Amino acid sequence: MKWLVELRNVTRKYGDITALDDVSLEIRKGEIFTLVGPNGSGKTTMLRIMAALDKPTKGEVYFGSVRVNDSNRGDIRVKSTMVFQKTTLFNATVYKNVAYGLKLRGYSKGEIEGAVREVLEVVKLQGYEKRLAKELSGGEQQRVSLARALVLNTELLLLDEPTANLDPKNVSIIEEVISWVNRERKTTIAMATHNLFQAENLTKRAALIIGGRIAQTGTSQEIFRVPSSHLASFARLENVFSGTSTLLEEGTSLIELENGLTVEAAIRRKGKVTLFVRPEDIILSEKPIISSARNTFRGKVREISDLGNTVKLKVDAGKEFAVHITKRSFNEMQLSIGSEVFLAFKATSVCVV
C-alpha cells in the first residue's frame, strides 16, 4: 500500500450547505500534497476529515488500511495532527505550549525536555522557552503552533494556510521546516494554501478544489505551469494578457496585445486568446539580451517586493510584467525604482489559458 489517507466519495454537509461534494482523493505515504482553491472551496473541511476531527455526511475515509469510524476515531487522531490557520495558544510560556501534547500522552519530563528543545531549534525559536507565547509576533506564534504539532511526531501533518498573512522571513522559515520534516522524518503532509508559488515549489502533487469538488488532480507542473480555466477562475495569476493570435509560417503564433505589444508563442491558435507567462520564466538584464528567446522587451522597474529568498519586480514594458529573480541577482544589478531593464522569455514559456 502506497497511500496513507484515502477519501472515497466523501460528501460533507452543514445544514443546507454542501462543503464537500463526492470527493475522492489519495494522499501517498511520505509526500507533501497541496490542496489549492479559493475561500469556501472545502479545503479546510477536507483537512479536518483527514484528521478525523469531522465525520463525512456520506462516503468513506481510510487511514492506512483501516476505515475510520466512531470506534477507532480516537486512535486515528493520535496518528495525525493539524495546524490551523488561526493560531490559538495557551496563555503560558512557549515551552509549556509546545510540551502540552506530550504531557497528555504521558511522556517523562526528560523525554519532553529533549523533544521540545529539538523542535524549537527546527523552527528557529531556541532561547524562547520562557517567553509568553501570546506576546510574540504573529509569525513567531505560528512557528510555536507548528512546533506544538511537530513535537508529537505523528504520521500525518495537516497544515491549513500555514503562511497566510506572514512576513517573508517567517514564510521562509516555515517553508524550510515543512521541507525538513518531510525529508528527515518522512512525515506525510497535506497542506491547504492560496500561494501558488509555494504550492509548486514545496509539493510534487496537488489538487485544485472549486465549490467543494475536485476540479483537477496531478503533478504540480501539470497544474501550475499549464494553468487551466479552473485555476484562472480564482487565482490571481500574474502576466495574464488577452490578444488576437495569428499563425506564422514557422509553426508558432504571433499574439497582438494592446499598446502594439506582440508576443510569439509556440502554439497554433487563431483568434482571441488569453496568454500566461510565469514570472520565473522571464529573464531580466540591465543590458539588451542576446539569446534565442523570441520575446524581448525594454521597460522600467515600477515596484519591488522582497519575498525572502527571491525578489519580485513589476516592470512596465508597455504591459506590466511581474518578474521573480534571486536576491543575489537583485543585489548584483543594484536595481531600484525607475531602473531601465530588459526582459526576455521563450515562445515555449507562453501558455494559453
pLDDT in tens, 281-291: 899 999 988 87
Amino acid identity at 110? G
What's the pLDDT at 167?
Answer: 80
Is the pLDDT score of 147 beyond 70?
Answer: yes
Separation of alpha carbons 48 and 252, rounded Å: 47
Asked if residue 244 and residue 131 are part of one domain, the reply reads no
Burial of 260 by CB count in 10 Å (0-12 exposed, 13-18 middle, 19+ buried)?
exposed
What's the pLDDT at 306?
Answer: 87
In the 3-class helix/strand/coil scheme, how is 47-109 assigned residue by residue? HHHHCCCCCCCEEEEEECCEECCCCCHHHHHHCEEEECCCCCCCCCEHHHHHHHHHHHCCCCH
What's the pLDDT at 110?
Answer: 96
Asked if residue 269 and residue 331 are part of one domain, the reply reads yes
What's the pLDDT at 152?
Answer: 97
What's the pLDDT at 177?
Answer: 97
Asked if residue 252 and residue 219 are part of one domain, the reply reads no
- What is the CB-side half-sphere exposure of residue 179 using CA atoms within 13 A? 13
Asked if residue 260 and residue 203 are part of one domain, the reply reads no
What's the pLDDT at 309?
Answer: 73
CATH number of residue 301's parent domain: 2.40.50.100
Q: Residue 48: which region, alpha, beta or left (left: phi > 0; alpha: psi -120 to 50)?
A: alpha
Asked if residue 284 and residue 164 are part of one domain, the reply reads no
Asked if residue 188 and residue 281 are part of one domain, the reply reads no
Asked if residue 206 and residue 175 are part of one domain, the reply reads yes
Question: Nine-digit cell at 293?
Answer: 528567446
Q: Do the Cβ atoms of 327 and 310 come closer than 8 Å?
A: yes
Asked if residue 150 and residue 16 are part of one domain, the reply reads yes
CA atoms 181, 209, 194, 134: torsion sign: negative
Asked if residue 253 and residue 140 are part of one domain, the reply reads no
Asked if residue 253 and residue 228 are part of one domain, the reply reads no
Percent of the chain with pLDDT over 90: 70
Segment 134-155 mean pLDDT:
96
pTM of the model as a whole: 0.73
Last residue of a domain, one of 215, 232, 249: 232
Instruction: Determine how many CB atoms are found less than 10 A away from the CB of residue 31.
Output: 20
Which of the pair, 85 or 353, is modelled with greater confidence?
85
* Alpha helix (H) residue ranges in the chain: 43-50, 73-78, 94-104, 109-122, 138-150, 168-185, 196-202, 220, 229-232, 327-333
Give the CA radius of gyration of the chain: 23
Asked if residue 278 and residue 220 are part of one domain, the reply reads no
Burial of 173 by CB count in 10 Å (0-12 exposed, 13-18 middle, 19+ buried)?
buried
Name the domain count of the chain: 2
Last residue of a domain, one of 210, 232, 254: 232
Domain that holds residue 295: 240-352
> For residue 298, which phi and psi values (nearest 5 degrees)?
-110, 140
**pLDDT level of residue 199 (50, 70, 90 thresholds):** confident
Pairing of strands 17-28, 3-14: antiparallel
What's the pLDDT at 236?
Answer: 57
Q: Do the Cβ atoms of 42 and 57 come closer than 8 Å?
A: no
CA angle 103, 108, 111 (to 5 degrees): 100
Segment 71-83 mean pLDDT:
95
Question: Nine-digit cell at 166?
Answer: 506572514
- What is the CB-side half-sphere exposure of residue 257 using CA atoms within 13 A? 17
**pLDDT level of residue 155 (50, 70, 90 thresholds):** very high
Classify 135 as helix, strand or coil: helix
CATH number of residue 217's parent domain: 3.40.50.300
Percent of the chain with pLDDT over 70: 96
> For residue 118, which phi and psi values (nearest 5 degrees)?
-65, -50
Amino acid identity at 263? V
Is the pLDDT score of 71 beyond 60?
Answer: yes
Question: Nine-digit cell at 336?
Answer: 531600484
Asked if residue 96 and residue 207 are part of one domain, the reply reads yes
Last residue of a domain, one of 232, 248, 264: 232
